[in-house]
Amino acid sequence: QVRLVESGGGLVQAGASLRLSCAASGGTFSPYGMGWFRQVPGKEREFVAAIGRTFITNYADSVTGRFAISRDNAKNTVYLQMNSLRPEDTADYYCAAGTPSSWPPRLTSDFKYWGQGTQVTVSS
């Protein structure tokens, strides 16, 4: 069974950059499509970015041009580089893995495995 652990969250000022990491263990990593989602308390979990087995990427409109998802299969790690952070980016960020049949995979149901989340807070 694949286990995912996010790290790299924290408190930063608006305009700053932050890089999140998602380390996978317990299974092969390269066959999976990977995604990042975020959730604010009381709100639904929303799509942020996805990267496929062929390294194709897709982003939510709210983060396009500011965020970049990447993967290092040799290290079983997925990254989310976040630049020009805004207060509205504040949320718990979750890493996900799955084998979606369609592209882009923007629904939580497109992914089977989830990490525990890491908190990102952006102050004004």
**For 53-64, how does the pLDDT look when each residue is reduced to its tens digit (9 = 90+)?**
999 999 999 999
1-27 pLDDT, tens digit each: 899 999 999 999 999 999 999 999 987
Element (H, E) at 58: strand 57-59
Cis peptide upstream of residue 41 (ω within 30 degrees of 0): no
- With beta carbons less than 8 A apart as the criterion, state whether 14 and 124 touch: yes
* Mean pLDDT value of segment 70-77: 94
